Amino acid sequence: MALTKAQILSADDSKLIEVEVPEWGGEVCLRVMSGTERDKFESEFVGDNKSVEMVRAKLVSKCLCDEDGKRIFSEEEIPELGDKSAAVLELLFHKCMKHNRFTKDDVDDLAGNS
């Protein structure tokens, strides 16, 4: 039997993963973005004004969360996160990409390589 609208909207599809970050002294939680959040994120990197400036910090900030799945960095705090280690941001960026099911084609499209 097909799911109802109520069943779909009430389903908890916001899975969290924990990632060990020794450089920061512990683990962090990463969440799956909503469809709307992902669309907004992707729209920042398309069109005439596209730029990959702070792409890692931007994606990581949208996925870093507390144990309840609530973001811990606001949009205004992205530059502060971007000042952290590039190696750590790269690790978390790739974990976010995998957890949010970005494909190579998605990345190429965002970078204008398609």
Which domains, and CATH codes, for the chain?
17-106 (3.30.2220.20)
Question: What is the phi/psi pair of residue 37, to 5°?
Answer: -60, -40
Q: What is the pTM of this model?
A: 0.84
- For 20-73, how does the pLDDT look when each residue is reduced to its tens digit (9 = 90+)? 999 999 999 999 999 999 999 888 877 776 777 889 999 999 999 999 999 999
Q: Where are the beta strands (DSSP E) in 8-102?
A: 16-21, 26-31, 64-65
